[in-house]
A and B are shown apart, each in its own frame.
Chain A
């Protein structure tokens, strides 16, 4: 038997870590995965598609039961871990069982935030985090009036899914534009138009004052006095790293579980990846950093020398037919230059931010196919002077014309 390695959390980061590890050093570790949800690991990114009825629950499954079995992974799901006994390297589960570990990986993810307003716990006030939430939403929302609070990535996906599922959806957002942390004003306006064209009513600069209802939600009251009748309210205002276990175990916590470049926590033998981890002051809420961390950690656990140095964020909105991409310092800083390409006829907007002859940020709307290439350029910091004038037109054209003068 291999060295016992326990992963707490059965989400996407955990599944990727198991995959990376079993690919690299199959048999070296006896892997056990402890999941709170009563199902195999699934693709959370597809929840809005599930809500929109574009995919089935089965299609969300990341790996089949057979896949896990073939790799000798012990799956413990539907039963949360309740404590980590760090001194004796043992994890205790809710059902009283214990699992010893040589290495422990925390991949506990995050929990959705609810606004601290009155009525936030009324029936019909939901979040959008897991399959249970989706089932609730589908159960409650179809053909009815829904208010989604929060105009970020998650709120947009929820609103889209609900609208596709037949609800009359209002999207309430505190800021003056949608996805303000990922989009500039122009892209946000285009996004708003796209979302509205899909039947979602968008209210910006709208602060939720209270949720009204007797037992069940009836309306959302806004600070400016507006009142939105609602049969269903979804909080999509953000997430908070799930650090409860780590905290009780005495691990160093800031916002998330602090990890170093080796993804190690403050306690030997314990690591953290994904949304629960905080690296150099940053908690990531997207899948790609989680996968990157899983890959780095797997390499380290396989004996390689690998370091996680942080992720350059790229945002892809997963709303079908709406292509939005942003990465890096897309708002630009002092001394940065912008290249902007627009074609309203194609509903395309591209903004590239350049500083010191390097691409530092990008916002794409409508035509996002070159997003990953831009992300590579941002990450690599490669000089782009030679292709500067072709950059906005995408990789094929830029690389075809690279040797030529502008």
Chain B
């Protein structure tokens, strides 16, 4: 017998965070795949985090949307054809535009779309429908970094590379729980720490998992990051740590920025006071930073998700510009992007305040893009950024919306209001992988089945400007199609067939690359013109590469050649023609090795993307949170991620492994605050803001700052009864980036009394009675629920019996406890346990039995104890008086008992009423004979 030849491994990239790890996916031929890290991908060199490693568990088609659906007149969604669905969308958008103008329509995209999807959608809206109402969930993620980069560098450019983390002597992590949110990069930092003693400073209001491995933790007051970095700038200036030569040659605006910094944080003591830190810690940090040339400041959502996020980014960049620590090995500001292709979206221009390919809405830009696209209806001005876009939906100004690959009813601030507003749209189109999420159930009129990760082809860009291919390794199920295809179909139906005549993702990529180089001449940092003619085979074989990758130009823009040659030690890939299309099959580029990206660091010797090629120091505003706490809402609600979940869990929520880490939505609170609020660890609390309320499990921990609460963002109406944390978040936004302040909403917390709690396991999703608190957890072969309730366990008997109707019910009833196990034959097909909330049993044992094929009788007898049988089953009862089963008797015979008297002496069996003696004799005789 020979095993079938294994299918070849496909190189692709992870669909989660912005690290952009390379993955080797080996399809199993049955719809699944084995997932390992790609040892040749420069981002991860074979490593994967828990989420990436569990991708194989998320490939099932459970809950997948497999064909287009239309909401009928009776309000229910029903299957339809692609043709009808496309008609409905094209007709709907056309009608709304005709009646209300182009700004009454919008697209809301996602950092999880591929660059090609993004490009097509952006082009349709901004060039053919005539509006710039294209925004993306990246707005919620890193738009403050975009704005900060643009203000300082003149373009949205990450100057450094991941290799800087390997070569730094100091890494400052600001608002980044990299250990959980960018684990593979965190591992690189830890490796550097072991190898070269890199010191790690963590600036975060929480003592996160990342802080556990830090040399210095600055538990900063929420929103005060700009105070810390203003103080640092002052300290650098006052201690002679500035790189005057670099500043003089390549920057402007320092004096004003320093003046403002002095006003905010004149000295170490003032900095410490403003930032809520110990002066000694601040001084230590300042000294470290001043003394360490190779310093990387990596920042993430703690910086970005702020009404002053752009200023925070600027305050950090100021310190790097002032020390000339930018674009050189081991140095620089490094934005850790949250999503796999937020960067690709940024490059395409899929944000409402960008037009395309790093161009804005200057008349020359509009003209240039319009000519390139041959577009009939160019948008003339910025569109609405996410929060404003949904406000326009709420007001009724936007009447038709197409949501692609994201779940705004969960993730937007004031998510409850957003969800209601979505239900009032004339036309809500949702392209999705899943049949139901909170946005779909908000009232989508058209559902489009999108190809998912592993089924679609295209490119993504990670946090170090590295473009990698995502490749399909599974067939698209049902009628699922790539998002770009849907956009193109709608465009064709609207009469733009010529402009959207794409035969595949490669066609779009070439057009995208061509646009990036179109009349660029070095004026725009994002330029991959070298790839504008890439062949289909080369596109398929494209190795991870960093931009820029300019096409060789016979007439370089003024100063470009000298600037660019000066900014790098060697020509780098940007000047390399090897990606250019060749007539004959090109030699496949050899796999890149880690560290090769060093050649693409930017700005080490200036060459910024501003008109004068100088970077700008930014005078930041005095730090202050947008909202104020008061007696009604005395806490600051911080939100964020957990280690093993991603966004709204539509993918990670399928993985049993990932569900184990933190299975329930929770709120963290400092012990002192918990005591005064009357909430207890393991109990439940109602977290309330002026926008909404959630009921969450309480985690009392001194890793939480006093006065702050923390709750994860992942749970939705699909995965929990009352944990859509976006509902609580204020919609205050950064004036430059439009990014909402998602980490500091004034909040209150009160105990929620749910005296009874339990768990349920089911092959299919369960519906709990109204008023039940529940959280759904993926388990192998079904769904798990942890729940809590005010209904006494006795009331659950009837509910549970209905939940598992048609199966044999084993039940355990005790005052204050109710447990049911539902069997089909010897297979455990369901369970529900409920009892006092403070002594709910762990579900591990029952879950293991549920996940197995059949349950042995010995285990079945004790399944409702939530424990495994200690040993073997006793077997058939022989001696009723002393409770001796046949297996004990056999064992006794095997151990040397040769008659019933000996059995009686060891087991007492048969020594009372004696009615079992005849049977005992027979068993002994049989066993002895068998042993002969």
Q: How far is the CA of A371 from the CA of B817 in the complex (A)?
A: 23
Report the nearest B residue to A351, measured CB to CB. Answer: B813
Q: A393-B867, A394-B862 are in contact. Are A373 and B883 (CB under 8 A)?
A: yes
The answer to whether the Cβ of A39 comes within 8 Å of any Cβ in the partner chain is: no
Instruction: Please count the residue pairs between chain A and chain B whose beta carbons lie under 8 angstroms apart in the complex.
Output: 124
B587 at the interface (CB under 8 A from A): no
CB <8 Å contact, A344 and B808 = yes
Size range of the interface on B? 35 or more
Output the nearest chain B residue to A286 by Cβ-Cβ distance.
Answer: B913
Find out whether the CB atom of B877 lies under 8 angstroms from the CB atom of A287.
Answer: no
Q: Are the CB atoms of B912 and A291 closer together than 8 Å?
A: yes
Checking A323, A392, A396 against B871 with a beta-carbon cut-off of 8 angstroms, the contacting residue is A396
For chain B residues 807-860, which have a beta carbon within 8 Å of chain A? 808-815, 817, 821, 823, 839, 841, 857, 860
* Given A339-B813, A369-B874, A393-B865, residue A405 in contact with residue B880 (CB < 8 A): no
Contact with B along A300-343 (1 / 0, CB 8 A): 00000000000000001010000101000000000001111111
**Contact yes or no, B913 A369, CB < 8 A:** no
Q: Are A340 and B812 in contact (CB under 8 A)?
A: yes
In angstroms, Cα B812 to Cα A393, docked, is: 10
Contacts A59-B918, A397-B862, A401-B867: A340 and B823 contacting too (C-beta < 8 A)? no
Q: Once the chains bind, are B883 and A368 in contact (CB under 8 Å)?
A: yes
Distance of A348 Cα from B810 Cα, bound (Å): 9
Q: A323-B877, A400-B870 are in contact. Are A393 and B915 (CB under 8 A)?
A: no
Question: Would you give the shortest CB distance from A404 to chain B, in whole angstroms?
Answer: 9
The verdict on A197 contacting chain B, using a C-beta distance below 8 Å, is no
Asked whether A318 and B883 contact (CB < 8 A) given A340-B812, A346-B860, A393-B864, the answer is: no
Contacts of A62 in B (CB 8 A): 914
Q: Does A260 contact B (CB under 8 A)?
A: no
The CA-CA distance from A59 to B884 in the complex, in Å, is 20
B768 beta carbon closer than 8 Å to chain A: no
Q: Is the CB of B814 within 8 A of A49?
A: no
Interface residues of A in 388-404 (CB under 8 A from B): 388-390, 392-397, 400-401
Assembly CA distance A250 to B918 (angstroms): 42
B372 at the interface (CB under 8 A from A): no
Kindly provide the distance from the CB of A389 to the nearest chain B CB, expressed in whole angstroms: 7
* Alpha-carbon distance A369/B883, docked complex (angstroms): 4
Q: CB-CB < 8 A to A341: which residues of B?
A: 810-813, 864
* B812: chain A residues within 8 A (beta carbon): 339-342, 392
Decide if A45 is an interface residue (CB 8 Å cutoff): yes
Q: Tell me, in angstroms, the Cα distance from A132 to B891 when the chains sit together.
A: 38
Judged by a CB distance under 8 angstroms, whether A288 is at the interface is yes
List B contacts of A368 (CB < 8 A): 877, 880, 883
CA gap between A323 and B871 in the complex, in Å: 22
- Enumerate chain A residues within 8 angstroms of B921, measured Cβ to Cβ: 59
The prevalent SS among residues of B at the interface is mixed
Q: A345 at interface (Cβ–Cβ under 8 A)?
A: yes
Closest beta carbon of chain A to B801's beta carbon, Å: 12
CA distance A323 to B914 in the complex (A): 16
B859 to chain A, nearest CB (A): 11
Could you tell me if B862 and A393 are in contact, using CB atoms closer than 8 angstroms? yes
Bound CA–CA A367/B858 (angstroms): 11
B692 at the interface (CB under 8 A from A): no
Return the CB mask of B58-93 against A: 1 if under 8 Å, else 0.
000000000000000000000000000000000000
Of residues 349 through 399 on chain B, the ones whose CB sits less than 8 Å from some CB of chain A are none
Complex-state Cα separation, A390 to B813, whole angstroms = 12
B839/A325 in contact, CB under 8 A:
no
Is B885's CB within 8 Å of the partner chain A? yes
**A340-B813, A397-B869 are known contacts. Are A46 and B861 too (CB-CB below 8 A)?**
no
- Minimum CB–CB distance for A322 against chain B, Å: 10
Contacts of B660 in A (CB 8 A): none
Which residues of chain B are within 8 angstroms of A388 by Cβ–Cβ distance? 814
Q: Is B881 among interface residues, defined by CB-CB distance under 8 A? A: yes
Task: Chain B residues near A405: list those with CB within 8 A.
Answer: 839
Q: Is the CB of A394 within 8 A of B861?
A: yes
Task: List the B side residues contacting A373 at CB < 8 Å.
Answer: 883
Q: Which of A372-392 contact B (CB under 8 A)?
A: 372-373, 388-390, 392
| Chain B residues in 8 Å Cβ range of A113 | none
Is residue A370 within 8 Å, beta carbon to beta carbon, of the partner chain? yes
Distance between B885 CB and nearest chain A CB, rounded to angstroms: 6
A65, CB-defined interface residue at 8 Å: no
CB interface residues, A 84-119, toward B, < 8 Å:
none
CB nearest neighbor in B for A392: B812
Interface residues of B in 881-911 (CB under 8 A from A): 881-885
Judged by a CB distance under 8 angstroms, whether B283 is at the interface is no
B877 surroundings in chain A (CB, below 8 A): 323, 367-369
Say whether B913 contacts A340, CB under 8 Å.
Answer: no
**Which residues on A sit within 8 Å (CB–CB) of B867?**
390, 393, 397, 400-401
Contacts of A288 in B (CB 8 A): 881, 912-913
**Can you list 14 A-B pairs with a CB-CB distance of less than 8 A?**
A43-B914, A46-B918, A59-B921, A316-B880, A316-B913, A343-B811, A369-B874, A373-B883, A388-B814, A389-B814, A393-B867, A397-B862, A401-B867, A406-B839
Please give the residue numbers on chain A whose beta carbons come within 8 Å of chain B beta carbons, in ascending order: 43, 45-46, 49, 54-55, 59, 62, 287-288, 291, 316, 318, 323, 325, 337-346, 348, 367-373, 388-390, 392-397, 400-401, 405-406
B residues whose Cβ falls under 8 Å from a Cβ of A: 808-815, 817, 821, 823, 839, 841, 857, 860-862, 864-865, 867, 869-871, 874, 877, 880-885, 912-915, 917-918, 921
20 more A-B residue pairs beyond the given contacts A45-B914, A348-B810, A401-B865, with a C-beta to C-beta distance below 8 A: A325-B880, A340-B812, A342-B810, A342-B811, A343-B821, A343-B861, A344-B809, A348-B861, A367-B877, A368-B877, A371-B883, A372-B881, A390-B865, A392-B814, A393-B861, A393-B865, A394-B862, A397-B862, A397-B865, A397-B867
